[in-house]
């Protein structure tokens, strides 16, 4: 297997990253991982404190691919039809007409998704998994590519509804932005002091070109030993003594697809063990539930995943 040359697909990826970095300073890894989810046709759950650039990241991705961007502000009184759309009776034509909800966009920001009721949260399930919504028995296809980035604040627990396991499992990755360094924050002050850079960035790839990149990412080779490594990692989370609910087969498939996309972004036509190891915390973290007694003893999912990575034999490629 040979390393891919810096050809047109790889150049398109580099342009995307550079374009988004114009408005999100010092977060190249988060940008890369967001593009991993985009190329793997997955979605991202972004959990972090307010004001670190979550909304800016999503808007920059949407502008960079020339796609439609919609923001859904989830509140306790939000209804499922406020997300998917609603059929309205037209008195002139004497027929019902479907009016699309904000879910009909290429890039959707589901802001503070844990502030709305489980009933409304479930309206996102079909859209995220099937890329379609069903209203009044009629199924409507969503635009392609379709990418959801949902945010939730880990600090504010009052008035929130924890996401059910079924919905958490629909997110390919869970990411955290974190605070910038001193130098990065000084650069932010300088760059945003007199203008809004988000208004100055243009599309560097089209929606059709992105779909082509998504197809190319699925062609990345994954050896049998890497496949076994992925499966054993998932299995080891299920068998761990401190785990109540381990990673499902959907989680193993998410790691497989994400590893292909990451190798594609890095300019390789094959997956290596380091791709898998880098992605495990982001693909598995939100899929694991610890036993109550383990949490009382101070165990965390991140520490557990570190243990699982250390105890699982790494294949020699």
Q: Which residue has the higher pLDDT, 210 or 259?
A: 259
pLDDT tens, position by position, 237-269: 999 999 999 999 999 999 999 999 999 999 899
Asked whether residue 158 carries a pLDDT value surpassing 80, the answer given is no
pLDDT at res. 317: 67
Asked whether residue 4 carries a pLDDT value surpassing 50, the answer given is no
CA quadruple 298, 299, 303, 307: dihedral sign: positive
Question: Once rounded to an integer, what is the mean pLDDT over residues 24-43?
Answer: 91
Asked whether residue 100 carries a pLDDT value surpassing 60, the answer given is yes
Residues forming CATH 3.40.50.300 domain(s) in the chain? 1-212
Q: Which residue has the higher pLDDT, 15 or 94?
A: 15
pLDDT at res. 6: 35
Distance CA 152, CA 163 (A): 10
Asked whether residue 161 carries a pLDDT value surpassing 80, the answer given is no
DSSP letters spanning 182-247: HHHHHHHHHHHSS--GGGG---SS-HHHHHHHHHHHTTSB--HHHHHHHHHHHHHHHH-TTEEE--
Q: Which residues make Cβ contacts (< 8 Å) with residue 135, sequence separation at least 6?
A: 81, 84, 85, 86, 87, 98
Fold for 1-212, please state it.
Answer: Rossmann fold (3.40.50)
Q: Is 305 in a helix, a strand, or coil?
A: helix
Which range (13-22, 47-56, 266-275) has the least confidence? Answer: 47-56
As given in the structure block, the two tokens for residue 268 are: 């390789």
Mean pLDDT, the chain, integer:
87
Distance CA 48, CA 75 (A): 18
Q: How confident is the model at residue 157 (pLDDT cuts 50, 70, 90)?
A: low
pTM of the model: 0.87
Residues forming CATH 1.10.8.80 domain(s) in the chain? 218-317
pLDDT at res. 237: 94
Question: Once rounded to an integer, what is the mean pLDDT over residues 27-32?
Answer: 90
Which range (15-24, 150-159, 266-275) has the least confidence? Answer: 150-159
Asked whether residue 159 carries a pLDDT value surpassing 80, the answer given is no
In three-state form (DSSP H/G/I as H, E/B as E, the rest C), the secondary structure along 179-190 is CCCHHHHHHHHH
pLDDT tens, position by position, 54-69: 888 888 888 888 888 8
Q: How confident is the model at residue 154 (pLDDT cuts 50, 70, 90)?
A: low
Share of the chain above pLDDT 70, in %: 96
As given in the structure block, the two tokens for residue 59 are: 């808007």
Question: Once rounded to an integer, what is the mean pLDDT over residues 83-97?
Answer: 84
Question: Once rounded to an integer, what is the mean pLDDT over residues 278-297?
Answer: 93
Share of the chain above pLDDT 90, in %: 41
* CB-CB neighbours of 248 under 10 Å: 15
Superfamily of domain 218-317: Magnesium chelatase subunit I, C-Terminal domain (1.10.8.80)
Asked whether residue 313 carries a pLDDT value surpassing 60, the answer given is yes
- Entry field: residues in the chain: 317
Asked whether residue 192 carries a pLDDT value surpassing 50, the answer given is yes
């Amino acid at each position: 297997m040979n390393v891919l040359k810096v050809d047109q697909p790889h150049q398109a990826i580099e342009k995307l990253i550079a374009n988004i970095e114009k408005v999100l300073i010092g977060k190249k890894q988060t940008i890369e991982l967001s593009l991993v989810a985009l190329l793997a046709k997955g979605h991202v759950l972004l959990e972090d404190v307010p004001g670190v650039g979550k909304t800016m990241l999503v808007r920059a991705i949407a502008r960079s691919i020339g796609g439609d961007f919609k923001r859904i502000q989830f509140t306790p009184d939000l209804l499922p039809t406020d997300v998917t759309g609603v059929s309205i009776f037209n008195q002139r034509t004497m027929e019902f007409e479907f009016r699309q909800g904000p879910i009909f966009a290429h890039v959707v920001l589901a802001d503070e998704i844990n502030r709305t009721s489980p009933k409304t949260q479930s309206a996102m399930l079909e859209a995220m998994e099937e890329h379609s919504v069903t209203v009044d028995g009629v199924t409507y296809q969503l635009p392609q590519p379709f990418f959801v980035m949902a945010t939730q604040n880990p600090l504010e627990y009052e008035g929130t509804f924890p996401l059910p396991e079924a919905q958490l499992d629909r997110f390919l990755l869970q990411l955290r932005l974190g605070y910038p360094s001193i130098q990065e924050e000084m650069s932010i002050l300088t760059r945003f002091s007199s203008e809004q850079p988000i208004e100055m960035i243009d599309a560097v790839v089209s929606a059709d070109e992105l779909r082509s990149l998504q197809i190319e990412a699925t062609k990345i080779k994954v050896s049998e030993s890497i496949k076994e490594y992925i499966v054993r990692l998932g299995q080891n989370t299920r068998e761990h003594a401190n785990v109540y609910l381990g990673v499902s087969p959907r989680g193993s498939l998410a790691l497989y697809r994400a590893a292909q996309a990451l190798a594609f972004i890095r300019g390789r036509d094959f997956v290596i063990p380091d791709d898998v190891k880098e992605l495990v915390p982001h693909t598995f973290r939100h899929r694991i539930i610890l036993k109550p007694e383990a949490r009382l003893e101070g165990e965390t999912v991140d520490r557990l995943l570190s243990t699982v990575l250390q105890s699982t034999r790494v294949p020699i490629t």
